[in-house]
Amino acid sequence: MKNKTTPTRNERVMRENDFIVSKTDLTGRITYCNETFIELSGYSEKELLGAQHNLVRHPDMPRAVFQLLWDHIKAGKECFAYVKNLSKDGSYYWVFANVTPDFDDRHQPIGYFSVRRRPKPEAVKAVTEIYAAMLAEENRVGSRDGIAAATAWLNDALKRREETYEKFVLSL
């Protein structure tokens, strides 16, 4: 289901002690969501369960960020990321996400867990500028090569800072 929600400038802010929790299958379909996710997303549990997690993807988010996330978790590693999400009513909310693979007893991946908390305002400011530049790069080269171009832009920016993605994200 493609999200046809029109973004607004209205921000929803997570409470200090809120945690959004969701679980997906290997394809990103939501199999579990907690009440905080339901509340902030504006969707009912029925609408969320079985839907692709990208239902809440905000158009301000570069596709390259999600490619990086998927690359990490498909490789069996956890990933941290700042994400701007889109609520059903068009409002948005920022999260600091930790996404980890879920394994069965034979250590085979069976899905993914995501736990999100309220990000620090200064971190949101920093990633907003970076994401805007990455999105501009994606748009400049077009959809076919956009992810690769934005990823290259991010890697160059991190190299100039002498940081890895993980070190940068966790330092904010």
Tell me the pLDDT tens digit for each residue of 41-74: 999 999 999 999 999 999 999 999 999 999 999 9
User: Would you say residue 13 lies in a domain?
Assistant: no
Q: Is residue 135 part of a domain?
A: yes
Q: Is residue 8 part of a domain?
A: no
Identify the CATH number of the domain in which residue 117 sits.
Answer: 3.30.450.20
pLDDT greater than 80 at residue 163: yes
Q: What's this model's pTM, rounded to 2 decimal places?
A: 0.94
Residue with tokens 């994200």: 169
Q: What is the mean pLDDT of residues 105-132?
A: 97
10, part of any domain: no
Instruction: Let me know if residue 119 belongs to a domain.
Output: yes
Q: Residue 167: which domain range?
A: 19-171
Cβ 37 vs Cβ 20: under 8 Å: yes
| Residue 1 pLDDT greater than 90, yes or no | no
The answer as to whether 11 is a domain residue is: no
Element (H, E) at 140: helix 121-141
Buried residues in 111-138 as b, exposed as e (16+ CB within 10 A): bbbbebebbeeeebebbeebbeebbebb
Mean pLDDT calculated for residue range 104-115: 96
Task: Check residue 4 and give its pLDDT.
Answer: 83
Q: Is residue 52 part of a domain?
A: yes
- Provide the mean pLDDT of the chain: 96
CA distances from 88 to 30, 47, 107, 112, 124 (A): 16, 10, 36, 23, 21
The number of domains in the chain is 1
User: How much is the average pLDDT of 121-150?
Assistant: 96
pLDDT at 2 over 70: no
